[in-house]
Structure 1
Amino acid sequence: MRRYLRVLVLCLGCGFCSLLYALNQLSVSLEEEETGGGGKLKAAAASWPTVSGRVDGKGARSVGPKNHPGWSTRYRLMKTQSSETMHLAVVACGERLEETVTMIKSAIIFSIQPLQFHIFAEDHLHRGFKNILNGWKFLQTFNYTIYPITFPTENAAEWKKLFKPCASQRLFLPLILKEVDSLLYVDTDILFLRPVDDIWSLLKKFNSTQIAAMAPEHEEPRIGWYNRFARHPYYGKTGINSGVMLMNMTRMRRKYFKNDMTTARLQWGEILMPLLKKYKLNITWGDQDLLNIMFFHNPESLFVFPCHWNYRPDHCIYGSNCREAEEEGIFILHGNRGVYHDDKQPVFRAIYEALRNCSFGDDKVHSLLYPLELELLKTVHTYCGKIHKIFTKQLTKSIRDSYNRPTKES
């Protein structure tokens, strides 16, 4: 009798376990039908970064994935590519609205992953940025926040006088954008000829000590400014140019910097003002000079990328001296010296005007590339014009890649 009871209990136990398993499978099946992916949507939503959006003067608000204007498109993008949002910052003052908008357009046109723009601008420029960027909402591939120009209260006047009225704002980005881990800072006169994704990927190449990446100020020491005229320490043989600066800001905020003012190492927020007080009579290029001094004392903290990531007139006006651009083309164009707005370097101006005038819906081959190539043929009388093909090599590749890339809707 006991044997039969044991068999009965065993059978009942097996039956109960089978029932639990069946109920569990039914629950999973119902969840998949509701979400279309077995909880994948919930996982994607949980990993989506929260961004800040400024709304018509009403302050900042948190924008989560479901109420984000680009949510549906961005989720489709996530299914085939990385969901990482790339953060890009720019500081605009004076009459730099059009130039900054053209830079932003060049970043949007070719980039793959979503972009978050942090725009620091004088108050009179805010309405202009909103009017233009809100008209691009249909793209659903970017978001932006506009900030006022702000400096530490006790030393605001000194920072405003440094080089240009708001140029030194970039030094305080790690302290202002406390929730941003990594950031690409660019000057207003930057044009992207390759996707922002390409330079963003360099963050993964940083070693354990590197916190930022910049290009050399010069490739040829005979025409270098720092090695001939600087009255302060500078990085490497020819200094560094800060017009394109990739930053791991989490590391920047944590690091203690060696310096020549005290035996104690100082953090980012502690070192800026003492540096300015010590060197303000010796610096010419403002915040860029302060960065050179900092990385002179902390060279292990800098990742140096090649000149085709920050190609300037100095790379061609005296003859070509950027080997990487000669081999691969220009990735990022930097139109300093005001060359987008005068006739001194017509190659730079032609590319700026081509990108300024193009529309997002245009056929980029026929409306952008072909007319630009014809325009560049008129510039061969200049040193930069003689090598005009390096200016369109990567642009051509970017346009071709954008047509071959699966659409975000697919």
Structure 2
Amino acid sequence: MKLNLSILILLFNKLYSIVANENIINLSVVACGDRVPETLVLLKSALMFTRSKLNFLIITENNLKHQFTDEFNKWPEFVRHKFTYVISEPKFPSQNEEEWRKLFKLCASQRIFLPEILPNIDSILYVDTDVLFITGLEQIWSHFENFNSTQLAALAPEHEEANMGWYNRFARHPYYGKLGLNSGVMLMNLTRMREFEFVNKIYPLYQIYKYNITWGDQCLLNILFKFHPDRLYEYDCSWNYRPDHCMYGSNCKSAEANGIRILHGCRRVFQSDKEPAFREIYKAFEAYDFEEESRKKLYISIKESFDKPSVKSTYCGGVKDQFLKTLKTELKNHKQIMIETKRSLEMDSTTTLLLEEKQEL
């Protein structure tokens, strides 16, 4: 029996939707200890502005897994329709396992082993848990298209100004470029990393420099790319904007021109009063619940927070245009993204129902 026109149209629309989103974005995060709550806020921010389907690759301790699944189940169905997820436990080399597990921050060195832990994944965006997305993930994901034939990862500089730099003043080991790299936001072509034998190259570097490194796996990445600079693609500081870029005055030129794309609240500034501007933005995203009214409140809350004396009195509070520029643009698109997501869910449900009815006939 031939399918009627309505079913054919639904199937065509569904197929078009699949093709349009065939490039699923893999977002990986490692959350151990007390990092789950801020990770959930991070994942919400990723869903807010991203049109593409997301696949969350979450690595966490076994006793923390339920915190993710319980929260996901509370989110609206149209939001759960936007992403898939895999939750797994941390895996470290059997030799010196505890040493790797506790290097710098609990589980942080896990990112070094992702090429082997995720053998069937081609590419990922890895981020620290203290990150907020101010733009859709398609934007940073598009940097993969700019990689040349040798580049296998992308990172932003640790600093912009030499007189503020850490590596150029204090490092006791080799590091990339003039001012080093920050590893908090990292594009990783895992296929190329496996071909390069990335993990095997890290082991000897650790043995040589382990008593000289301060920031754990970030220092190891700096050492590796110092010796293999052709393997790194470098993007600007707006993709990894940290308190260092404003706490002593504005020093991220790309954020001044284009706004902040990804906010990195390192040194626990999202949870403390060290940098009130970062704290206020985090609180606004934390309160967001995917509804339209919540979207409006988020922007108003952040904008008004820059009038608070505690924020205005800081250097970071003085560059509010950098914080608001991208956010204002992206929030205008947010409503349409949510409409498209709900429509996609309705289309799936209707298509399934009609096909089931047709089979019964």
Within the candidate set 93, 98, 108, 1:152 is matched to 93
Structure 2 match to 1:116? 55
| Structure 2 unmatched runs, 5+ | 345-361
Q: Does the 8 Å CA contact 2:275/2:316 hold for their aligned counterparts?
A: yes
**1:69-108 equivalence runs, <5 A:** 77-78=17-18, 81-108=20-47
Structure-2 change in CA distance of 1:283 and 1:399 (3 Å): same
Q: Does the 8 Å CA contact 2:249/2:315 hold for their aligned counterparts?
A: yes
Q: Distance in 2 between matches of 1:96 and 1:312?
A: 18
Moved more, 167-176 or 361-370: 361-370
Q: Distance in 1 between matches of 2:92 and 2:36?
A: 21
Within the candidate set 383, 392, 398, 2:324 is matched to 392
Structure 2 match to 1:277? 207
- Percent identical among aligned pairs is 46
Q: Distance in 1 between matches of 2:292 and 2:322?
A: 23
TM-score, L = length of structure 2: 0.89
TM-score, L = length of structure 1: 0.78
- How many Å apart are 1:388 and its aligned residue? 1.3
Q: AA paired with 1:145? A: V
Structure-2 change in CA distance of 1:38 and 1:117 (3 Å): closer
- How many Å apart are 1:38 and its aligned residue? 12
Q: Does the 8 Å CA contact 2:131/2:263 hold for their aligned counterparts?
A: yes
Q: Does the 8 Å CA contact 2:21/2:53 hold for their aligned counterparts?
A: no
Structure 2 match to 1:201? 142
Structure 1 match to 2:260? 330
Q: AA paired with 1:385? A: G
- How many Å apart are 1:37 and its aligned residue? 6.5
- How many Å apart are 1:35 and its aligned residue? 6.9
Tell me the number of residue pairs that the alignment of Structure 1 and Structure 2 aligns: 338
**1:228-377 equivalence runs, <5 A:** 228-255=169-196, 267-377=197-307
Within the candidate set 47, 65, 70, 1:131 is matched to 70
- How many Å apart are 1:40 and its aligned residue? 6.2
Q: AA paired with 1:407? A: E
- How many Å apart are 1:124 and its aligned residue? 2.2
| Structure 1 unmatched runs, 5+ | 1-28, 42-71, 256-266
Structure 2 match to 1:7? none
* 1:135-172 Cα shifts (integer Å, max 9, x gaps): 23612000111111110112202212311221101111
Q: AA paired with 2:326? A: Q
- How many Å apart are 1:272 and its aligned residue? 2.2
- How many Å apart are 1:372 and its aligned residue? 1.6
Q: AA paired with 2:200? A: E
Q: Does the 8 Å CA contact 1:216/1:304 hold for their aligned counterparts?
A: yes
Q: Distance in 1 between matches of 2:21 and 2:202?
A: 36
Q: Distance in 1 between matches of 2:199 and 2:24?
A: 26
- How many Å apart are 1:78 and its aligned residue? 3.1
Q: Does the 8 Å CA contact 1:380/1:388 hold for their aligned counterparts?
A: no
Query: Secondary structure of 2:185's match?
Result: strand
Q: Distance in 1 between matches of 2:90 and 2:193?
A: 21
Structure 1 match to 2:163? 222
Q: Distance in 2 between matches of 1:279 and 1:137?
A: 48
Structure 1 match to 2:349? none
Q: Does the 8 Å CA contact 2:53/2:82 hold for their aligned counterparts?
A: yes
Q: Is 1:175 matched with 2:116?
A: yes
Structure 2 match to 1:15? none
Q: Does the 8 Å CA contact 1:193/1:395 hold for their aligned counterparts?
A: yes
Q: Distance in 1 between matches of 2:137 and 2:294?
A: 18
Q: Distance in 2 between matches of 1:185 and 1:315?
A: 21
Q: AA paired with 1:112? A: R
Q: AA paired with 1:382? A: T
Q: AA paired with 1:311? A: Y
- How many Å apart are 1:120 and its aligned residue? 0.7
Q: Distance in 1 between matches of 2:2 and 2:336?
A: 37
Q: Distance in 2 between matches of 1:117 and 1:396?
A: 26
Query: Secondary structure of 2:304's match?
Result: helix
- How many Å apart are 1:77 and its aligned residue? 3.3
Q: Does the 8 Å CA contact 1:32/1:38 hold for their aligned counterparts?
A: no
Q: Does the 8 Å CA contact 2:91/2:117 hold for their aligned counterparts?
A: no
* 1:272-299 Cα shifts (integer Å, max 9, x gaps): 2211111100100000011011111111
Query: Secondary structure of 1:303's match?
Result: strand
* 1:216-266 Cα shifts (integer Å, max 9, x gaps): 0000011100000111111111000000000111111112xxxxxxxxxxx
Structure 2 match to 1:162? 103
Q: AA paired with 1:358? A: Y
Structure 2 match to 1:381? 313
Q: AA paired with 1:326? A: E
Query: Secondary structure of 1:284's match?
Result: coil
Q: Does the 8 Å CA contact 1:32/1:39 hold for their aligned counterparts?
A: no
Moved more, 301-310 or 394-403: 394-403
Q: AA paired with 2:266? A: N
Moved more, 148-157 or 169-178: 148-157
